[in-house]
Structure 1
């Protein structure tokens, strides 16, 4: 069974040193989306405009298989307001 690492980069990077055995890439995608949702929910009050957040999912050799990106971008209507 393949092992996948779920590495989070958000200014307080969290590298998955253990990994998770999952049957296939599709299952890893589902796990990554669920995991990202939980992490973002837990840290929601700390996320600000223009913050970047990403999760890279790698195989056991470190090859990036896919990534999830999250960014809050303010519109021009609020560009003069405090972030």
Structure 2
């Protein structure tokens, strides 16, 4: 089974030296989303206070970059109204 490495930069670079054996790329994508959710949950309030996005680079056993996840939280600095964009309506 191939090995996938999940390297994280959340303000501190955390390399994944060991990696995880997974069936295929689809399984690595599922694991990346699961691990990202777990990290956000474990971070508690510090995730919300973080000013820059967290990044997860997923590589194979040969250190080839397969995909990158980027996730973060944005809190408006004042009153904000959310207006969803319609596919038929151009952005203003």
TM-score (normalizing by structure 2): 0.75
Partners in 2 of 1:49 and 1:14 — Cα distance? 16
Distance 1:7 1:49, change over 3 A: closer
How many pairs were matched up? 78
1:51 paired to 2:49: no
* Superposed displacement of residue 49, structure 1: 5.3
Q: Which 5+ residue runs of structure 2 have no aligned equivalent?
A: 80-92
Q: Which 5+ residue runs of structure 1 have no aligned equivalent?
A: 79-83
Give runs of aligned pairs for residues 5-44 of structure 1, distance below 5 A: 5-44=5-44
What RMSD in Å do the two structures reach over aligned CA positions? Answer: 1.6
Partners in 2 of 1:12 and 1:21 — Cα distance? 25
3-state SS in 1 of match to 2:14? coil
Partners in 2 of 1:49 and 1:61 — Cα distance? 32
Stretch moving more, 24-33 or 66-75: 66-75
Partners in 2 of 1:44 and 1:8 — Cα distance? 17
* Superposed displacement of residue 46, structure 1: 0.9
* Superposed displacement of residue 60, structure 1: 1.0
Which portions of structure 1, spanning 4 or more consecutive aligned residues, are displaced by more than 6 angstroms?
none
